[in-house]
Each structure stands twice: as structure tokens, then as C-alpha cells.
Amino acid sequence: MGLQHGEQARDKIQHNLNVYFRRFKNETLLSREQVLERAARYLEVIQKTSPRYAQSMKGVAEASKTTQLEITALNVRYELMYSQFSKIGLKPVTKTDGCTAFAALPTAAKNKHMIMGQNWDWIPEVKGLFLKMRNQQSPDVLCFTEAGVVGGKIGLNSEGLGLLINGIVSSKDDWSRLKKPFHVRCWEALSSRTLSRATGVITDGERSCSANFVLGQQRSEEKGKVLDIESAPGATCQLEPSGGAIAHTNHFSNPSLLGVDQVLDDERISTLHRYERIQRLLDKKVRGSQNLDTRLAQSMLRDHDGNPESICRHANPRFPEDERYETVVSVVMDLYTRTLWATMGHPCEQEYQALKL
């Protein structure tokens, strides 16, 4: 799988390496040598905790004609960037993968299928792709990832399990804890047969950095389960749906429960607004209505209330060019039919394309 990923996405991987090494230098004040030195330490962690992931990274490096340490740096860019944001203190510390995610139980949907949806807001120059993975010993997976990153972060598997993610930054995030990285956990969660196994992947042990995960599963008609896990380095917190639906953006609901301080500056306005707005849309259109379908989910992700810091997020000219986050990919999933609809770029400017596992 790594070899195919590396070969088919070679140009995009080279492009992403250029983008991230430039950003490591400009925004997190890490030289190329420092990045590769930290990547080497994480490569050891991944080889030990998830050998198949390490093997897949090796394949990506070989086929894309890059080095294993460069590919490792891409795969742990979350740990390298996020903890640095909370450390350098010189610049705004809130550059998270901004995202708006929601999920609803089958009882809220017209066809009684579980629907999950998310806009992934990040820097628009990063190249993404969808992976369809056929596994021999674990469920097949359909997911979105950044070219060169083995572990997809938004997706579903053949057991009807789905994953959405939100970046969050806390005061305790620190790359040097050298714990199993975020993208490896996403990959293992998406390879899980059951919701409890996927939950364990996220909550077991400690983490280097904080993140939020929305997990859902529907295996049989009308029955489904969804939950949200906020994770900080030393603790996690599980949130349950209310009125059959749940949503999350880029802040902790109760950081003191997790023993951390919330790190929010420039991101504050955006994440709080998007959270209130998605909850309002769920209240108005989904909770108690049994009206949800994929079209309605798509229209919620095209919402412009509060533009440009809206659910469909556009570049905010108030910030320097390198700090403008926009919706890079938009995804709606039907877990029961294992179908995913996506737009690369703003969903307000194009039709969703269906991908089937």
C-alpha cells in the first residue's frame, strides 16, 4: 500500500514536503536538521508501537523517491507543529487544523442511516487525496489523507465505523513525550472492527499532543452509536450525543476536566462561532426531526453565517497570507452504505462527488 501511495502521489508528496518544511522553518522556527532529528526519534517510536505503519511509510518514501525521515516528518507534522505552537510563545499559538464536525444517530435520519460530516480547514496549498485500502487482516478503509501521510484522518471502514477529527491545542502539548503519534492513532482507529477497540486506540496510554475524535458505527439497520473523545496528553474525556446528534470544533468543552489550559487566541472567534452555529443548525434541522439526509448534511457544511470564519470557511484577509485557513476538504458519510461524498476545496463552489468503499 505504501508503494502504491508513493508512486501514484509522487508529485503531491514532493509538493507537501516543500510546503511543510517551509512552514516548519517560518512558523515553528525549526530548521530542516531539527525537523529530521525529531523525525528520527519518532520513527523509532512508530517502528516499536506500530510496525505496519512504519513499513507503509517506508514504501511511500521508496516509491516517491524521498527519504524515510522526510516522510516520517510529514506523518508527525501534527506533533512537531502543535507542540511548538504552544512553546515558542512569540507568535500566535493557535494554528490548529480548524474543523467543524458533526454526527447524528440513525434515529435522526430519513433512511435511518448514520450520517457524519466534516469540513477540514487548513492551509489551502496542502495536497490531499483519498485512499481506498483493502486489508487482509482488518476492515477495508476509505479515507481522506494528506499526500504522503499513511494514516487517513477522516473516513469509514467496511465494519460501518467512521472517524472525524478536530485539532485542539493545550498547554501540556509537547513533542518530546514521544508517544504514539496522532496520525498513527487515526490509522489504527480506522482499522478497528468495533467502536470500543477504536476508542481504546485513542484513550490507551499517553499522547504527545491534544486532539478531538468523533467516532461512530452502524452495522445493522436503525442501530448505531456515536461518541466524541477529547484527548489531552495525560487524560481523555468522552462526550455523548444530545438529542441524537453531536458536534465539535477546535476547543475543549471543559479543559479543567483534562488538567490542561485551553490555548486559544486568534482561533477563539472562529471556533466558538462555528460551534454555536453547527449546534443551532442541528437544533433547527436535525434534532427531533427525522429529516436528516446527505443533502441536508451537505447544505449545513455550505453554511456561511459569520463569513469568513464560517462553517464553510474562507480566507480571512485580516490575517497574514500564511495564516489564513480555509475549508480544504468537505466530507459527508453514510456509515450504513459505506458511502462518502466529498469536495476538494470549498463545498459552496462545487457538487459533492460520491466515493464508495
Residues paired with 339 in a beta bridge: 334, 356
User: d(Cα 185, Cα 198) in Å, to the nearest integer?
Assistant: 9
Q: Is residue 312 at the binding interface for Zn ion, with CB under 5 A as the rule?
A: yes
Q: Is residue 116 at the binding interface for Zn ion, with CB under 5 A as the rule?
A: no
Residue 271 CB, nearest approach to Zn ion (Å)? 17
Q: Is residue 338 at the binding interface for Zn ion, with CB under 5 A as the rule?
A: no
| Cα distances (angstroms) measured from residue 121 to each of 158, 172, 192, 245, 288 | 26, 23, 26, 21, 29
Q: Is residue 311 at the binding interface for Zn ion, with CB under 5 A as the rule?
A: no
| Cα distances (angstroms) measured from residue 167 to each of 43, 76, 182 | 22, 14, 10
Q: Is residue 348 at the binding interface for Zn ion, with CB under 5 A as the rule?
A: yes
How many other C-beta atoms lie within 10 A of the C-beta of residue 22? Answer: 12
- For Zn ion, give the closer residue by CB, 108 or 312: 312
Residue 93 CB, nearest approach to Zn ion (Å)? 27
Give the x-and-dash track for 213-252 against Zn ion (CB under 5 A): ----------------------------------------
Angle CA 71–119–9, to nearest 5? 30
- For Zn ion, give the closer residue by CB, 83 or 330: 330
What values do phi and psi take at 72, rounded to 5? -60, -40
240: cell is: 455523548
Task: Tell which phi-psi region holds residue 168, choosing left (phi > 0), alpha (psi between -120 and 50) or beta.
Answer: beta
- For Zn ion, give the closer residue by CB, 131 or 348: 348
Give the x-and-dash track for 268-307 against Zn ion (CB under 5 A): ----------------------------------------
* Region near Zn ion per CB under 5 A, out of 121-129, 185-193, 278-286, 311-319: 311-319
* Region near Zn ion per CB under 5 A, out of 160-168, 216-224, 251-259, 309-317: 309-317
User: Contacts with Zn ion: how many residues (CB under 5 A)?
Assistant: 3
Nearest to 75 by CA among 101, 95, 45: 45
Q: Is residue 346 at the binding interface for Zn ion, with CB under 5 A as the rule?
A: yes
Instruction: Please report, as ranges, the residues that interact with Zn ion according to CB under 5 A.
Output: 312, 346, 348
